[in-house]
Amino acid sequence: MRTAYLRTILTRDDTADLLLRRSLLEDRMPTTQIDDAGARLLSVLMRLLQPRRVVEIGTSFGYASLHIARALPEGGHLVSLETDPRAAAIARRNLAEAGQSSQAEVREEDALAYLETLPETVLDAVFIDGAKEDYPRYLAAAFPKLRSGGLLVADDTLCWVDPDTVFSNAERAGLDRFNQALAQSPSIDLAIANTENGLLIGVKR
């Protein structure tokens, strides 16, 4: 009911809808992208923060990347990491067609290896959405790279709790450990939005 109502009042996002439909129906990409409420939240958060350097862990076909890239200020830049070459190519095509290639760079690279190359506290925002069992590792690698006041967002932090979802034990354990670590951390102000997938939002102290 709520989702149907929201669809009637929120402005349609034709560019994102087109990208989503084509990548799911024609490219046959998996439906692992951020949900609609999460995408809108991510976009609003980026508009508020006006980050200059953002990293996304897990690009897939670039749906969330599009929402981030469009919300960046002049001079803002997204690096999105994707290990699957086909997904990276599709994301690059999608972002180019949406006119976002200069704001968003898709790198075909392991996110953990990329994060290792960065100096500490250089990032304004990090969006975690890669392999679910690796969320604790992404956190350990990304958190030191985030500046104080920087934004940490992670998708899929709640959907694994529902019994009818298809997460493996390793994925469930990874997501639970990730949530618990942040919930107990004195270094972050935290909220978990009860969106379809569960969007964790934190600001580094």
Interacting residue ranges for ligand SAM, rule: CB under 6 A = 32-34, 57-60, 63-64, 81-84, 87, 110-112, 129-131
Q: How far apart are CA 13 and CA 25, in angstroms?
A: 18
Name the minimum Å distance from CB 54 to ligand SAM. Answer: 12
Cβ nearer to ligand SAM, comparing 30 with 149: 30
- List Cα–Cα distances, 3 to 6, 15, 64, 114, in angstroms: 5, 20, 19, 37
Cβ contacts of 190 within 8 Å, gap of 6 or more: 182, 183, 200, 201, 202
Judged by beta carbon, residue 41 or residue 111, the one nearer ligand SAM is 111
CB of 57 to ligand SAM, least distance (A): 6
Tokens of 60: 């897939």
Nearer to ligand SAM, 124 or 129 (CB): 129
Give 131 or 159: the residue with its C-beta nearer to ligand SAM: 131
Comparing CB distances to ligand SAM, the nearer of 81 and 175 is 81
Shortest Å, Cβ 111 to ligand SAM? 4
Query: Nearest distance from residue 140's CB to ligand SAM, in Å?
Result: 13
Among residues 201, 162, 163, the alpha carbon closest in space to that of 179 is found at 201
Find the shortest distance in angstroms from Cβ 80 to ligand SAM: 8
* Phi and psi at residue 98, to the nearest 5°: -85, 5
Which residue type sits at 86?
R
CA geometry: angle 98, 48, 122, nearest 5 deg: 85
